[in-house]
């Protein structure tokens, strides 16, 4: 991680202009700045010089235009739930808080599309949609904003069936680095109209502009939903079951692995009383008979690998309780080692390589003796191993980083990626080069220079220029 950047502070005339325009929606209070320079990553906070709360795309355009004029970094801010240091003001500049742009602009139920401002969170959107019998499937653990989720190309537990932000953003509005407003995509389901700017911005981690509006695909709530847990004698057995499910083309909606450590953590945090053994938490969507058929197929596969009888969550309340616990897994695990920090991995491999990827990583961390937990969107080949480290013991952090590096190297050898859903941010820049090669990163840098010649948009993230 390169932290030796030159900082580019907000100059006094620009600060004065912002203060005049935004009043108390522009703040230099240290506590607020520190809160905006922090995320869920284990890095130390370099706070921004000021925080501006935007309430409209016009305001965003004004701020970005000023920043471009003065060559000052702009870091878009949503829920603050990044795990990769995206929000750290490594080159100074301002944090542009978009949480007040939180209106759901349109729900087009008949087209299964919705238009939202970037500060809308996934839970807020689903609250609104539920009444219409609809839902938006992408669910990272945190109640992230949809702007942030687009910026990191987030996914979550439903991606195996419904795709990620890559597949579910139809179009967006952007304030580009020059302050101009750009619209990409349309509400049509597909298009061949020129370069796919939408997907260039999705996953660009705030480095190409500020997303000010999103058109998203939404889905009808399935006629039938059932969730089940299944315990296995080993992580490997659970993973082998998953591989079979995917290879047979079962349209499973969610297929999540929790290792015994994660189950223990969520038991403790959410008082669930689950058996503390490797577990798949699954959900089936479809018609009544379709769901029953899928569940039966999966139960048979699980039995082949020593999986036990499914335990069903039949009521919506029981389902919600299980999935809420799953979404709390990360925070629950942190609480198992009070005061700890967590180095989280995010590799994703072709499904046939998943067992090797997980088994070796478990062997290595067990040998190293560091506390850890595993949760995984295993249906996608994606899992997170969290290493819990004591901030007072730098050697633990180093050990965790070394284990993480070995895991990434293995994932790349297995033709996978260093990050399935969290993004590159500050921490994985070396891994990005290992994964995709210097030529591809050089191409990314060319694109960045073309669209942000003064390097003001979240500079120093993904790569340094």
Query: By three-state DSSP, how is residue 246 classified?
Result: helix
Q: According to the binding rule CB under 8 A, does residue 456 interact with its own copies?
A: no
Query: By three-state DSSP, how is residue 101 classified?
Result: coil
Q: According to the binding rule CB under 8 A, does residue 152 interact with its own copies?
A: yes
In the complex, the smallest distance separating the C-beta of residue 271 from its own copies, rounded to whole angstroms, is 33
State the Cα–Cα distance between residues 234 and 249, nearest whole angstrom.
23
User: Residue 233 has what DSSP assignment?
Assistant: S
**Which residue(s) pair with 256 in the sheet?**
281
List the interface residues with its own copies, window 414-453 (CB under 8 A): 415-424, 428, 431-432, 435-437, 439-441, 443-444, 446-447, 449-451
Among 29, 105, 132, 188, binds its own copies (CB under 8 A): 188
Q: According to the binding rule CB under 8 A, does residue 337 interact with its own copies?
A: no
Residue whose CB is less far from its own copies, 288 or 398: 288
Among 279, 302, 313, 351, binds its own copies (CB under 8 A): 351
Q: According to the binding rule CB under 8 A, does residue 454 interact with its own copies?
A: no
**CB atoms closer than 10 angstroms to residue 338:** 7
Residue whose CB is less far from its own copies, 264 or 285: 285
Q: Which stretch binds its own copies (CB under 8 A): 52-60, 61-69, 312-320, 412-420?
A: 412-420
List the interface residues with its own copies, window 224-253 (CB under 8 A): 243, 246-249, 251
Check if the beta carbon of residue 21 is closer than 8 Å to that of residue 62: yes
Residue whose CB is less far from its own copies, 100 or 199: 199
Residue whose CB is less far from its own copies, 162 or 387: 162
Check if the beta carbon of residue 265 is closer than 8 Å to that of residue 335: yes
Q: According to the binding rule CB under 8 A, does residue 204 interact with its own copies?
A: yes
CA atoms within a 13 Å half-sphere pointing along the CA-CB vector of 278: 22
List the interface residues with its own copies, window 92-111 (CB under 8 A): 108-111
Q: Express the helix, strand and coil content of the chain in percent, nearest 5 each.
A: 40, 20, 40
Residue whose CB is less far from its own copies, 56 or 289: 289
**273-312 footprint of its own copies as x/- string (CB under 8 A):** -------------xx-xx--x-------------------
- Which helix or strand (DSSP H or E) is residue 285 part of? strand 279-286
**CB atoms closer than 10 angstroms to residue 209:** 28
Q: Which stretch binds its own copies (CB under 8 A): 94-102, 173-181, 365-373, 386-394?
A: 173-181
Binding-site size, its own copies (CB under 8 A): 91
- Which helix or strand (DSSP H or E) is residue 382 part of? strand 382-389
In the complex, the smallest distance separating the C-beta of residue 423 from its own copies, rounded to whole angstroms, is 5
In the complex, the smallest distance separating the C-beta of residue 99 from its own copies, rounded to whole angstroms, is 22
Query: Could you tell me whether strands 50-53 and 94-97 are parallel, antiparallel, or unpaired per DSSP bridges?
Result: parallel
Q: According to the binding rule CB under 8 A, does residue 131 interact with its own copies?
A: no
Among 62, 98, 150, 197, binds its own copies (CB under 8 A): 197
Q: According to the binding rule CB under 8 A, does residue 380 interact with its own copies?
A: yes
State the Cα–Cα distance between residues 240 and 262, nearest whole angstrom.
19
In the complex, the smallest distance separating the C-beta of residue 385 from its own copies, rounded to whole angstroms, is 16
**Which residue(s) pair with 107 in the sheet?**
114
Check if the beta carbon of residue 334 is closer than 8 Å to that of residue 364: no
Give counts: helices (H), strands (E), the chain.
Answer: 17, 18
State the Cα–Cα distance between residues 298 and 290, nearest whole angstrom.
12
């Amino acid at each position: 991680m390169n932290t030796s950047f030159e900082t580019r502070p907000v100059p006094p005339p620009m600060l004065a202009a912002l203060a005049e325009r935004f009043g108390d929606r522009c703040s230099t209070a240290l506590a607020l700045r520190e809160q905006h320079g922090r995320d869920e990553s284990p890095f130390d906070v370099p706070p921004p010089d000021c925080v501006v709360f935007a309430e409209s795309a016009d305001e965003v355009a004004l701020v970005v235009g000023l920043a471009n004029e003065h060559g000052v970094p702009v870091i878009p801010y949503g829920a603050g739930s990044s795990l990769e240091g995206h929000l750290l003001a490594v080159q100074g500049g301002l944090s542009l808080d978009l949480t007040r742009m939180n209106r759901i602009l349109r729900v087009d139920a008949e087209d299964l599309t919705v238009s939202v401002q970037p500060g809308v969170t996934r839970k807020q959107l689903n609250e609104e949609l539920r009444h219409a019998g609809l839902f938006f499937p992408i669910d990272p653990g945190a109640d992230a904003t949809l702007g942030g989720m687009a910026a990191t190309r987030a996914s979550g537990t439903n991606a195996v069936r419904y795709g990620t932000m890559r597949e579910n953003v139809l179009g967006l509005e952007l304030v580009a680095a020059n302050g101009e407003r750009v619209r990409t995509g349309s509400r049509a389901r597909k298009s061949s109209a020129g370069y796919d700017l939408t997907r260039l911005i999705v996953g660009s981690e705030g480095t190409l502009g500020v997303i000010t509006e999103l058109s998203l695909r939404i889905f009808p709530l399935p006629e039938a939903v059932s969730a089940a847990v299944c315990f296995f004698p080993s992580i490997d057995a659970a993973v082998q079951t998953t591989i079979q499910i995917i290879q047979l083309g079962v349209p499973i909606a969610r297929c999540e692995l929790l290792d015994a450590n994660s189950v223990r953590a969520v038991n403790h945090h959410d008082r669930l009383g689950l058996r503390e053994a490797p577990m798949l938490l699954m959900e089936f969507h479809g018609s009544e008979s379709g769901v029953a058929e899928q569940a039966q197929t999966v139960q048979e596969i699980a039995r082949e690998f020593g999986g036990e009888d499914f335990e069903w969550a039949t009521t919506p309340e029981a389902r919600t309780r299980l999935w809420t616990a799953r979404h709390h897994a990360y925070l629950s695990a942190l609480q198992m080692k009070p005061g700890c920090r967590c180095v989280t991995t995010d590799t994703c491999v072709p499904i046939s390589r998943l067992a090797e990827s997980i088994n070796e990583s478990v062997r290595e961390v067990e040998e190293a003796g560091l506390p850890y937990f595993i949760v995984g969107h295993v249906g996608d080949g994606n899992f997170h191993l969290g290493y819990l480290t004591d901030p007072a013991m730098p050697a633990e952090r180093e050990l965790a980083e070394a284990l993480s590096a070995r895991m990434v190297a293995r994932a790349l050898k297995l033709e996978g990626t260093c990050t399935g859903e969290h993004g590159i941010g500050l921490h994985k820049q070396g891994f990005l080069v290992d994964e995709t090669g210097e030529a591809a990163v050089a191409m990314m840098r060319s694109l960045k220079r073309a669209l942000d010649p003064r390097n003001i948009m979240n500079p120093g993230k993904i790569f340094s220029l």
